[in-house]
Amino acid sequence: MKKTIIIIAILLIAIVSFVLISQNLNPTGKAIEEEYYTYTKAICNESNYCQDFIISCDGNKTLEIKSITGAAIQHSRSWQDPRTKEQIEKSCD
């Protein structure tokens, strides 16, 4: 009876230890630490021609700015961009 209790206790300790150790090896946590992300943004010029871009970031460093083919529009001269100045100037931060 005493041996059975000892064996069960050792098994429980081993299982709990394995679970705790394996939690620290989670690859998802590493991806979050690297802070890699992408977002899309329309960039417009002075004649109101706007092109969509995919912007890839690593933390506050811009890795790549790539245009999205077919995602452009020419607005009229009187068109006003509805975004705030902060939204227009947003970059990797």
Average pLDDT over residues 10-34: 65
Confidence band, pLDDT 50/70/90 cuts, at residue 4 = confident
Task: Summarize the confidence of residues 75-92 as an average pLDDT.
Answer: 92
3-state secondary structure of 91: coil
* Helix runs in the chain, H state only: 2-23, 27-34, 85-89
Helix intervals (H) in 24-91: 27-34, 85-89
Nearest-angstrom CA–CA distance, 54 and 52: 7
Cβ atoms of 36 and 58 within 8 Å: the answer is: yes
User: Is the pLDDT confidence value at 32 over 80?
Assistant: no
Express each pLDDT in 41-74 by its tens digit: 999 999 999 999 999 999 889 999 999 988 899 9
pTM of the model: 0.58
C-alpha 50/C-alpha 74 separation (Å) is 6
